[in-house]
Amino acid sequence: MLTKKLRIGIVCPYGWDTPGGVQNHVRDLAEFLMSAGHDVSVLAPAIDDAHLPAYVVNAGKPISIPYNGAVARILFGPIAFARVRQWIAAGDFDILHLHEPAIPSISLLACWAAEGAMVGTFHAAAKHQKVIYAIGPILEPAIEKLSARIAVSEAARLTLTNHLETDAVVIPNGIYAKRYANGEPQEKWSGNTIGFIGRFEEPRKGLQVLLAALPIIARFAPDVRVLVAGPGDPKEVEESIDPQLRHRFEFLGRISEKEKADFMSSVTLYVAPNTGGESFGIILAEALASGACVVASDIPAFDSLLGGGEFGALFESENPSDLAKVVIELLRDSDKRAGLSGKGREHAQIFDWDVVAEQIFSIYEMALVGAQEITLSSENRPWNRLLSRDGDKK
């Protein structure tokens, strides 16, 4: 692990005000690095400064664009570029850690603006995007500036390889496993309950698949309840539910991190019916750490995280009948639930920040050494700089 105190700049491309896996990852990483004694500054778009942590610098108000089956709130353009350059100059960082530098965002701007040790983490797992084809020629030189590349999953690594023909080391997202293991079961969320957490208005989160499965589930489990947590307006969703089943749904709105741990420790099953666009599934790792029995769609990222069904049950993506079948079987078999829960809790330890941060630290060390070699060799032999940057491809 790094023992020298470093000045680390982290760039988050997505609006800090909006809940999301990348934002949560950046927040937890920054706080872990600070707890280890490093100086950390995070640059991120935000609507206002009112609720930003002291370590976050506001890059400006984000704009919303469709991306990867969702709405991404990002920031780009000349004014943002000026702010990025100013932040880099003021920070005098030993290393920069850029998240999602392959999309038009402040991470890409930082990659253009900066020199020296830079690490890029790639989160997205998606089919070929038109935007990648359009800006590919300007992306590749920027990505080549990175001293090291991380992908949060094999699905994310393959996306990077397919889009930009470069590779990355796979290091998963981190979680505070102990925080979720210490969740306190709440009676109000207990019983024959199915839990769901996410931006349920986004089709790719798959709540409609669960809605379609509920009539079958309720036929065999008449007391089942579905608890939905996360941001969004439930009115439209409630109108689409069979009137005879509406009383089985409860929308909780946003819940705190402590409430999330309690929630996942309380429900009988945690269901993730996502239809695609997920590169890792940090919510699944958190659910496993809490001891929840997890049921998830068999999209590649979830299949990988759950070990092909060893640490949680899988169902055919976008197939409500198969979801219902898996849920009914688990609701009826407490021993099977307990077995999956125990295996899942143990498996979740590999995602704990103590483990994940050690791997990230090793990448930082490689990047720092690589950047130093580039600086020394570029004075008289400029071709060596390109060779050093491409060294991880050999």
Please write the tens of the pLDDT for every residue from 271-291: 999 998 888 999 999 999 999
Counting every residue, how long is the chain? 394
The fold adopted by the segment(s) 7-174+352-393 is: Rossmann fold (3.40.50)
The fold adopted by the segment(s) 178-351 is: Rossmann fold (3.40.50)
pLDDT band at 320 (very low <50, low <70, confident <90, very high): very high
For residue 387, the model assigns a pLDDT of 27
Instruction: Summarize pLDDT for 185-204 with one digit per residue, the tens.
Output: 999 999 999 999 998 988 99
Same fold, 7-174+352-393 and 178-351: yes
CB of 73 within 8 A of CB of 18?
yes
Instruction: Name the residue with higher pLDDT: 384 or 123.
Output: 123
For residue 328, the model assigns a pLDDT of 98
pLDDT at residue 344 greater than cutoff 70: yes
CB atoms within 10 A of CB 242: 11
Mean pLDDT along residues 56-75: 84
Question: Residue 279: exposed, middle, or buried by beta-carbon count in 10 A (0-12, 13-18, 19+)?
Answer: buried
For residue 142, the model assigns a pLDDT of 82
For residue 155, the model assigns a pLDDT of 87
CB of 121 within 8 A of CB of 100?
yes
pLDDT band at 68 (very low <50, low <70, confident <90, very high): low
Closest CA to 224 of 258, 253, 198, 190: 190
Q: Using CA atoms, how far apart are residues 67 and 113, in angstroms rounded to an integer?
A: 24
Six-digit token string for 47 = 């609507």
Instruction: Summarize pLDDT for 115-165 with one digit per residue, the tens.
Output: 999 999 999 886 555 444 445 667 778 888 999 999 999 988 988 888 788
User: What does each C-alpha distance from 93 to 39, 41, 87, 115, 116 come to in angstroms?
Assistant: 9, 9, 10, 10, 9
Instruction: Summarize pLDDT for 231-270 with one digit per residue, the tens.
Output: 888 988 888 888 899 999 999 999 999 999 999 999 999 9
For residue 165, the model assigns a pLDDT of 81
For residue 221, the model assigns a pLDDT of 95
Instruction: Name the residue with higher pLDDT: 95 or 70.
Output: 95
Instruction: Name the residue with higher pLDDT: 44 or 389.
Output: 44
CB of 93 within 8 A of CB of 113?
no
Instruction: Name the residue with higher pLDDT: 277 or 391.
Output: 277
For residue 394, the model assigns a pLDDT of 34
User: What does each C-alpha distance from 269 to 185, 312, 330 come to in angstroms?
Assistant: 13, 10, 8
Mean pLDDT along residues 330-336: 97
pLDDT band at 100 (very low <50, low <70, confident <90, very high): very high
User: What does each C-alpha distance from 195 to 83, 231, 248 come to in angstroms?
Assistant: 41, 15, 12
CB of 72 within 8 A of CB of 199?
no
pLDDT at residue 51 greater than cutoff 60: yes
Instruction: Name the residue with higher pLDDT: 19 or 219.
Output: 219
CB of 296 within 8 A of CB of 307?
no
Mean pLDDT score of the chain, rounded to an integer? Answer: 89
pLDDT band at 1 (very low <50, low <70, confident <90, very high): low
CB of 300 within 8 A of CB of 275?
no
For residue 391, the model assigns a pLDDT of 38
* CA angle, 315 then 316 then 317, to 5°: 110
Instruction: Name the residue with higher pLDDT: 389 or 127.
Output: 127
User: What does each C-alpha distance from 393 to 132, 144, 170, 388 come to in angstroms?
Assistant: 21, 11, 14, 10
Closest CA to 104 of 237, 9, 13: 13
For residue 373, the model assigns a pLDDT of 53
Least confident range of 33-47, 162-176, 295-309: 162-176
* CA angle, 46 then 57 then 48, to 5°: 30
- Domain residue ranges in the chain: 7-174+352-393, 178-351
For residue 19, the model assigns a pLDDT of 77
* DSSP states along 47-113: S-STT--TTEEE----EEEEETTEEEEE--SHHHHHHHHHHHHHH--SEEEEESTTSSSHHHHHHHH
For residue 111, the model assigns a pLDDT of 95
Q: Using CA atoms, how far apart are residues 364 and 198, in angstroms rounded to an integer?
A: 32
* CA angle, 76 then 125 then 22, to 5°: 55
Residues whose CB is less than 8 angstroms from the CB of residue 236 and which lie 6 or more positions away in sequence, other chains included: 201
Least confident range of 57-71, 191-205, 291-305, 375-389: 375-389
pLDDT at residue 114 greater than cutoff 90: yes
